């Protein structure tokens, strides 16, 4: 099998709209042991799939994913837009959404292009290639592989940072049994120096040390990946974030080099797409949620989690405007929403009688426990 000219691959990737592309041999991640220690410490939280033996085996040896794999093609696509006023994002009456989810679902943008690139490789090589395409879905440590492919270094916030583009870009990969005539040189392991802005700015102290993220305290994990009850001590620290968090990226000095994306699909079609009013989110039913977010990455967390997050943001806002919506949620079919709505109402009105009534009619054990804790906190204050 003849090595394929890497420059032809890169030209085609750029032609397809990708901003970054690198190629690295299909070797295990250099930081696999650190990942295993992270899992052993339980910092993956409720993301049990990260600790599954079959997924760890794939990270340990990419041949488990694709037998005979020789190379990993890694691409990046910018998503920064800079079109939403910071004042609107910081408005406590609006729920803040991480910038990567302002537009269309990135999976739907990157995956077809990666598949096109993989098909082009097969046609141009003239060989029956074995290939797999991933966009944030495969059991591989993609930021580590992207580092090895020359796309950036690992920041203290655990993000992959390109020294001339910042960290606001998506990653995608092609695993292939094709070899190339040259492979990229890894970036420096880190270029953060003495800077600790990201660590200091995190409102929930999610970084126990540089380059280590405790997902259990991360706002992005709590609002997206975590399906259950948000720890009560973290709720007041979450501000108005309802989907993801950008804080540790926004404060990074390398973000001053971030370029606005040319991909219009990532632009929000309105201010409400980036920072929807909390009263609107609290009023969402299943049909309204689907109508609003069916083309967005937000769709995957479902109505229950998004409204749960909005309850916390509403409690942190403290405005009477949300009270009628929160009171309606006390009778929602979801115990998770009933409990979080009670917490928010207590933050706003501090009405022990109202929480007592909600507790007296509650039948779900976890909701009872949360409402009881809310009532106890009111009595102690």
- Cα separation, 92 vs 112, whole angstroms: 37
- What DSSP designation does 137 have? -
Residue 230: Cβ-neighbour burial (10 angstroms; 0-12, 13-18, 19+): buried
Tell me whether strands 96-97 and 71-78 are parallel, antiparallel or unpaired: unpaired
Closest CA to 224 of 101, 290, 169, 306: 306
Q: Do 253 and 296 touch, CB atoms closer than 8 A?
A: no
- For 307, the token pair is 């409204």
Place of tokens 């920041």: 155
List Cα–Cα distances, 219 to 52, 96, 150, 202, 238, in angstroms.
24, 12, 29, 9, 6
Angle at 275 between CA 286 and CA 336, to 5 degrees: 40
Q: Do 298 and 101 touch, CB atoms closer than 8 A?
A: yes
Query: Does 136 qualify as catalytic in the annotation?
Result: yes
The residue annotated as part of the active site, out of 33, 61, 136, 351, is 136
- Cα separation, 374 vs 368, whole angstroms: 10
- Cα separation, 243 vs 263, whole angstroms: 21
Active site residues: 136
């Amino acid at each position: 099998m003849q090595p394929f000219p890497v420059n032809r691959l890169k030209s085609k990737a750029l032609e397809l709209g990708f901003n970054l592309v690198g190629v690295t041999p299909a070797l295990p991640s250099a930081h696999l042991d650190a990942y295993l220690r992270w899992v052993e410490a339980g910092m993956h939280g409720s993301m049990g799939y990260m600790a599954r033996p079959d997924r760890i085996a794939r990270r340990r040896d990419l041949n488990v994913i694709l037998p005979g794999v020789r190379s990993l093609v890694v691409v990046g696509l910018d998503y920064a837009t800079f079109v939403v006023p910071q004042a609107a994002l910081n408005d406590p009456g609006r729920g803040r959404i991480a910038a990567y989810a302002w537009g269309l679902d990135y999976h739907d943008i990157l995956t077809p292009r990666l598949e096109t690139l993989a098909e082009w490789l097969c046609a141009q090589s003239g060989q029956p290639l074995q290939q797999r395409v991933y966009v944030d879905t495969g059991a591989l440590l993609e930021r580590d592989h992207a580092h090895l492919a020359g796309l950036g270094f690992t920041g203290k916030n655990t993000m992959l940072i390109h020294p001339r583009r910042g960290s606001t870009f998506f990653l995608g990969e092609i695993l292939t049994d094709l070899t190339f005539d040259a492979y990229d040189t890894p970036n420096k392991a880190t270029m953060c120096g003495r800077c600790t802005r990201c660590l200091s700015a995190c409102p929930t102290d999610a970084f126990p040390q540089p380059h280590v993220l405790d997902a259990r305290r991360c706002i992005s994990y709590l609002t997206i990946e975590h399906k259950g009850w948000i720890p009560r001590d973290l709720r007041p620290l979450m501000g108005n974030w309802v989907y993801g968090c950008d804080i540790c990226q926004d404060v990074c000095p390398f973000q001053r080099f971030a370029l606005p994306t040319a991909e219009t699909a990532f632009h929000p079609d309105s201010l409400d797409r980036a920072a929807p009013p909390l009263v609107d989110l609290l009023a969402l039913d299943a049909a309204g949620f689907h109508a609003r977010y069916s083309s967005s990455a937000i769709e995957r967390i479902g109505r229950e989690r998004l409204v749960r997050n909005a309850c916390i943001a509403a409690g942190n806002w403290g405005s009477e405007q949300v009270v009628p919506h929160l009171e309606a949620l006390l009778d929602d079919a979801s115990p998770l929403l009933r409990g979080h709505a009670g917490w928010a109402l207590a933050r706003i009105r501090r009405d022990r009688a109202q929480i007592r009534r909600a507790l007296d009619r509650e039948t779900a054990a976890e909701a009872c426990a949360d409402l009881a804790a809310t009532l106890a906190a009111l009595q102690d204050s």
